[in-house]
Amino acid sequence: MSVEITSPAFKQNVAHALDDVNLQTALAKVGPGFISRRLGAADKMPEFEALRDSARDIKNHTLAHLDLYMERFEAKVKEMGGHVHFAVDAAEARDIVTDICRRLGAKTVTKGKTMISEEIGLNDHLAARGIEPVETDLGEYLIQIRGEAPSHIIAPAIHLTKDQVEADFRRVHADLPPERDLSEPTSLLAEARGKLRQRFLAADVGVTGANFLVAETGTSIIVTNEGNGDLTQTLPKAHVVLASIEKLVPTLEDVSQLLRVLARSATGQEMSVYTTFSTGPRRAGDADGPGEYHVVILDNGRSGMLAGQLREMLRCIRCGACMNHCPVYHAIGGHAYGWVYPGPMGAVLTPSLIGIEKGANLPNASTFCGRCEEVCPVRIPLPKLMRHWREKEFERHLTPAPQRYGLGVWGFFARRGWLYRPATRLAMGALALLGRTRGRFSSLPLAGGWTKYRDFPAPEGDTFQAQWRKRKERETLARAEAAAARGDAA
Amino acid sequence: MHPASPTETDAGKTPRVGLFCTCLVDTLRPSVGFAAAKLLEEAGCEVDVPRQTCCGQPAFNSGDRATSRALAEQVIVAFEGYDYVVAPSGSCAGMIKAHYPELFVGDPDWMGRVDRFCAKVFELVSFLVDVRGVARVAAAYEGTVTYHDSCSGLRELGVKRQPRALLATVDGLSLVEMGEADTCCGFGGTFCVKYPQVSDAIVGKKADHIDATGAGTLLAGDLGCLMNMAGKLQRRGSPVRARHVAEVLAGMGDGPAIGEPAPSGKA
Ligand code: SF4
């Protein structure tokens, strides 16, 4: 909910996450579930890999001509009676939304799922100005009543167990009869829906995110599984769409291609349950719809990414597959990343938005196993982009001193084979001697990070290169002797 | 994944292979190097081990491009005379094959040379199967093993079916698959010492999957991952023993496993 940045304290966050029994229980289900569902959906579609290529190409094309599509989109929205607002940073975006709310005398604002709202810290900002934000996505609602931030970009409350949710409902919903059974997810959903129905009707402004902005038609599109987005945007006086610049797509045809990879990559569904298209405010004769339609397009540092290597990150369609397949995310969950965007996509995007000084841990905390890149529907080379950040960090001498020093010493030797080989022989000889009884070490100087958790094998003895050369010498000698012996005999 | 390219090696001619032994094998477990050499010789190759240090991956993944580039040049100069360059590691072979070209982008003096070089670099087991057409090995190993797919080999080089195909021909060996064999073990090179707690959590889950198979031996194609998993298994008192897959395929699986003492304490 807030935009407090704890990424610099990543290691403390990790320790906390690993000790959190509820979190670990919740996380245990994340990997296997998402992974098998995505695989099932991909396997059922022979053209899935080709679709990923075309999804990548559509986004690349859009980013290459972003200014044109932005203009087209703005013109179309105006033509349909709506408004487009460009926000350079979070503060501007917040002010735009607040102004709309104030002008309409809004007391409550319903919200469909939007990560941009998290990025700009909208809820706290509105609340401080006497406007109550009400999250209507079940997951978002849950974390709102807990005063937490989302821990996943499509499943914001994935860090919670069912028991925690039940306890929260009983705590917050004062009129909930104690005997009401809340043991099933469906009963939890029904309970939340009952509470939210009144809020939908009373809301003055509805704020949603957007999965896509269509330049051709001036349409914003959201996909949800709960249908809360529809009520959020049609019932109030005004619908405000929060989106960032990379959500643009040229045509509805392009969107239909992207939708085919989005849900399959995200949840393994062929399509999300609701795909909602919004174009302009209610027209004369429409049965319902908002009186005003606003699109706030946020930059917040993204246009700076367009020029360099990180541009590829702007292809992201926020499916969450990279975190669903990430061993680090599976181990620590989303909050440990310390800001709005977790997992591999966050490890690349966060330093762009909050600065590498604060975000340095994130691109470093990856094993580079490559599974995120393997599943990303728009083929973002996430490890390569994380490495890009490591390079920036190294260039600017931000790499932590022990690591930089260790690397320097190692690099010095590795670049000088004539020193490296005798040095490794000596070191290995000594270590082999020390470790010969047990064959391994349970503590080693300078290797505490390793030996705190695992044993380290003792070297077998002399290095391979030295042994190989000795063997070759012996063979040459033996051949010479054999030849000499033959010569004698002749 | 990479079919045989009979470029310099005319059929019938014995290909000369430069064995890139990798830093970890060189320093900690030379027996893997000898196993690799044996397998290559049995596959009709002439093996040589030119003087070498490291492929540069630790520098590359730490953002130190200058050192990575210097080491890459060193490797290319030392190895480009061979018909093939083979490493008993998907991680080091992947570093060279998939990432060296990035280090020379925009340098016309090197680009073509680097591409030609990378085309002849292979991970050991996939080289044996895909390039040399090896379909079986003459080896025996009594017992049940489980195989971990190391990330770089799997995702950068397509190493998955080749080790399983050859293991299926080892006398007395039966393979039982672990759950999530293709999930990272948490090693990640410098990652495991930079973020030891996260690494430990990941390798802990891996060790659970390994133990759950009931296999007596864990195999993999990368010594880094193996040391990580073996170290964790040993720390928690698991009886599972860990070996590089080349040791078993070469019929050299009777020595001490990773982290075990040599018999009678001889180093
Ligand atoms: S980076 Fe790729 S996998 Fe991750 S959320 Fe974005 S589109 Fe999905």
Length of chain A: 490
Q: What is the mean pLDDT of residues B127-139?
A: 97
pLDDT category at B10 given cuts 50, 70, 90 is low
Model confidence at B3: pLDDT above 70: no
Pocket lining: A263 vs ligand 1, CB cutoff 6 Å: no
Atom of ligand 1 nearest to the CA of A382: 1
Q: Is the CB of A348 under 6 A from ligand 1?
A: no
**Does ligand 1 lie within 6 Å of residue A345's CB atom?**
yes
Best residue of B60, B192, B193 to probe chain A, by most A CBs closer than 10 Å: B193
C-alpha A182/C-alpha A202 separation (Å) is 26
Residue to mutate among B24, B25, B28, B154, with most A CBs inside 10 A, is: B28
Whole-number percent of chain A with pLDDT over 90:
72
Query: What is residue B9's predicted lDDT score, i.e. its pLDDT?
Result: 45
Q: What is the mean pLDDT of residues B225-250?
A: 97
pLDDT of A237: 93
- Give the global pTM: 0.94
**Over residues B176-202, mean pLDDT:** 95
pLDDT of residue B5: 47
Q: How confident is the model at residue B2 (pLDDT cuts 50, 70, 90)?
A: very low
Tokens representing B186? Answer: 């948490």
Residues B94-102: what's their mean pLDDT?
Answer: 97
CA distance, residue B257 to nearest chain A CA (Å): 9
Q: Residue A76: its pLDDT value, please?
A: 98
Residue A336: partners with Cβ closer than 8 Å, 6 or more residues away: A10, A13, A14, A16, A17, A342
Cβ within 8 Å, pair A465-B61: no
- A331 neighbourhood in chain B, CB within 8 Å: 198, 201-202, 205
Note the pLDDT tens digit of each residue in B13-36: 899 999 999 999 999 999 999 999
- Sheet order of strands, A83-87 included: A83-87, A292-298, A238-244, A205-208, A108-111, A132-135
Instruction: Choose the weakest-confidence range: A344-353, A383-392, A406-415.
Output: A406-415
Atom of ligand 1 nearest to the CA of A372: 3
According to the model, what pLDDT value does residue A304 have?
A: 94
- Expressed in angstroms and rounded, the spacing between residue A262 Cα and the centre of ligand 1 is 9
Contacts of B54 in chain A (CB under 8 A): 410, 414
Residue A174 has pLDDT above 90, yes or no: no
What is the per-residue pLDDT for A134? 94
pLDDT at residue A201, rounded to an integer: 83
CATH of A7-305, one of 3.30.70.100, 3.40.50.620, 3.40.50.10420, 2.60.40.10: 3.40.50.10420
Q: Measured from the CA of A343, which atom of ligand 1 is nearest?
A: 4
Name which of A360, A354, A355, A407 is nearest A386 in CA terms: A360
Map out the domains of chain A as residue ranges: 7-305, 405-489
**Ligand 1 centroid, distance to A212 Cα (angstroms):** 14
Q: Find the mean pLDDT for residues A277-286.
A: 93
Is there an atom of ligand 1 within 6 Å of A381 CB?
no
A114-164 pLDDT, tens per residue? Answer: 999 999 999 999 999 999 999 998 899 999 999 999 999 999 999 999 899
Q: What mean pLDDT is predicted for residues A84-112? A: 96
The model's confidence at residue B6, banded by pLDDT at 50, 70 and 90, is very low
Identity of the residue numbered B96: I
B198 contacts in A (CB within 8 Å)?
Answer: 14, 18, 328, 331-332, 365
CB contact under 8 A, A455 and B71: no
Ligand 1: which atom is nearest the Cα of residue A323? 4
- The string of pLDDT tens digits covering residues A314-357 is 999 999 999 999 999 999 999 999 999 999 999 999 999 999 99
The nearest CA of chain A is from the CA of B196 a distance in Å of: 5
Of A367, A438, A468, the CB nearest to B188: A367
| In CATH, B140-249 is 3.40.50.11810 | yes
State the pLDDT at residue A404.
84
Would the pLDDT of B179 be above 70?
yes
Q: What are the residue ranges spanned by the domains of chain B?
A: 16-131, 140-249
pLDDT-derived band at A2 (thresholds 50, 70, 90) equals: very low
Spatial contact of B45 and B132, defined as CB atoms under 8 Å apart: yes
User: In this complex, do B33 and A464 lie within 8 Å of one another by their Cβ atoms?
Assistant: yes
- Residue with the bigger pLDDT between A448 and B226: it is B226
Range 457-476 of A in CB contact (< 8 A) with B: 457-465, 467-469
In this predicted structure, the answer to whether residue B264 has a pLDDT above a threshold of 80 is no
Are A160 and A142 in contact by the 8 Å Cβ rule? The answer is yes
Q: What is the DSSP string of B75-94?
A: HHHHHTTSSEEEES-HHHHH
Does residue B152 carry a pLDDT above 50? yes
Between B218 and A225, the higher pLDDT residue: B218
Query: How confident is the model at residue A182, as a pLDDT?
Result: 81
Looking at residues A393-403, what average pLDDT do you find? 85
User: Rounded to the nearest whole angstrom, what is the distance from the C-alpha of residue A108 to the centroid of ligand 1?
Assistant: 33
State the pLDDT confidence band at A185, using cuts at 50, 70 and 90. Answer: confident
| Residue among A202, A187, A64 at smallest CA distance from A132 | A202
| Mean local confidence (pLDDT), A95-99 | 97
Interhelix angle A401-414/B65-79, rounded to 10 degrees, is 20
- Which one of A367, A371, A414 has the shortest CB-CB distance to B191? A367
Q: What is the mean pLDDT of chain B?
A: 94
Residue A266 has pLDDT above 50, yes or no: yes
Give the model's pLDDT for residue A113. 83
Q: With beta carbons less than 8 A apart as the criterion, state whether A224 and A112 touch.
A: yes
pLDDT mean across residues, chain A: 92
For ligand 1, atom 6: residue with the closest CA: A316
Question: Does the Cβ of A316 fall within 6 Å of ligand 1?
Answer: yes
CB atoms within 10 A of CB A329: 28
Q: Tell whether the model's pLDDT for residue B11 goes beyond 90.
A: no
**Cβ of A376 less than 6 Å from ligand 1:** yes
Which among B48, B55, B64, B218 is the top mutation candidate for probing chain A, defined by the most A β-carbons within 10 Å of its own β-carbon? B64
Percent of chain B with pLDDT over 70: 94
- CA angle A69/A74/A76 to nearest 5° reads 95
pLDDT band at A3 (very low <50, low <70, confident <90, very high): low
Residue whose C-alpha is closest to residue A58's, from A224, A325, A218, A259: A259
Nearest to B63 among A328, A394, A428 (CB): A394
pLDDT digits (tens, 9 = 90+) for A416-475: 988 889 889 988 988 898 888 899 998 887 788 899 999 999 999 999 999 999 999 999
Residue A59: band (very low, low, confident or very high) from pLDDT cuts 50, 70, 90:
very high
Ligand 1 neighbourhood includes A347 CB (under 6 angstroms): no
Q: What percent of chain A has pLDDT over 70?
A: 99
